[in-house]
Amino acid sequence: MTTARSAIAPVGSAGYYHCVSRCVRRAWLCGEDRLSGKSYDHRRDWLVERVNELALIFGERVLAYAAFRQGGC
Region of residue 34 (left: phi > 0; alpha: psi -120 to 50; beta: else):
alpha
Residue 72 predicted with pLDDT over 50: no
pLDDT of amino acid 50 = 92
The set of residues, in sequence order, having a beta carbon less than 8 Å from that of 5 and lying 6+ positions away, is none
Q: What is the pLDDT of residue 69?
A: 64
> pTM, whole model, 2 decimals?
0.61
Whether pLDDT at 73 is above 50 = no
Taking 70 as the threshold, does the pLDDT of residue 18 lie above it?
A: yes
pLDDT tens across 20-61, in order?
Answer: 777 777 677 787 888 888 888 888 889 889 999 999 999 988
